[in-house]
Amino acid sequence: MTDPAAAPMADDRFAPGARVRTFRHDPPHHTRLPRYARGKRGTVVEPEGPAALADVNARGRGDAPVEQIYAVRFAARDLWGEGDHHVVLDLWESYLEEDSDDER
Give the model's confidence band at 60: pLDDT under 50 very low, under 70 low, under 90 confident, else very high.
confident
Nearest alpha carbon to residue 87 among 35, 45, 39: 45
pLDDT of residue 53: 92
- Cα-Cα-Cα-Cα torsion 14, 20, 26, 28, nearest 10 degrees, comes to 0
Choice among 3-7, 27-31, 33-37, 58-62 with the minimum mean pLDDT: 3-7
pLDDT of residue 27: 84
Nearest alpha carbon to residue 78 among 19, 25, 27: 19
Select the more confidently predicted residue: 29 or 88.
88
3-class DSSP assignment, residue 69? strand
Is residue 41 within 8 A of residue 69, CB to CB? The reply is no
pTM for the full predicted model: 0.83
Phi-psi region of 83 (alpha: psi -120 to 50; beta: other; left: phi over 0): left
Nearest alpha carbon to residue 66 among 90, 38, 94: 94
Residue 58 pLDDT > 60: yes
Give the model's confidence band at 44: pLDDT under 50 very low, under 70 low, under 90 confident, else very high.
very high
What are the phi and psi torsion angles at 15 (to 5°)? -90, 155
pLDDT of residue 57: 81
Residue 29 pLDDT > 70: yes
